[in-house]
Amino acid sequence: MSSIDISNLSVAELAALKGSIESIIGGRRESELIRLRETFEDMAAESGFTLEEVMQATPSKKRAAVQAKYRNPDNHEQTWTGRGRKPLWAVALVESGGSLEDCLI
């Protein structure tokens, strides 16, 4: 792409150039969107679907939340499923001689 020197253009010339550029960008954007849509329609058709079916498809459901297995005896709002890293309250409980079995829900 060649470099165009616009530093010597007047404000009116720059404004006219800006308008031309915005118009060209709008037209190119429209044609690229149409081309992409046609490509996507072709891809969907090759798979036996319409583009509308593809766009309405939703990903599979997330796994259900795991129920809490343990509850902090000092703060019943703090719970833990027993998976992953132990929360600080569980670590402190075990270090102080307590047992997680005492916290089972």
Domain that holds residue 19: 11-56
83 falls within a domain:
yes
Could you tell me which of 50, 103, 55, 49 has the C-alpha nearest to residue 79?
103
19 falls within a domain:
yes
- Report how many domains make up the chain: 2
3 falls within a domain:
no
62-91 average pLDDT score: 92
Same-domain status, 52 and 78: no
- Answer whether residue 60 shows pLDDT above 80: no
- Answer whether residue 10 shows pLDDT above 70: yes
27 falls within a domain:
yes
pTM of the model: 0.46
Output the CA angle 26-31-34, nearest 5 degrees.
125
65 falls within a domain:
no
Same-domain status, 16 and 52: yes
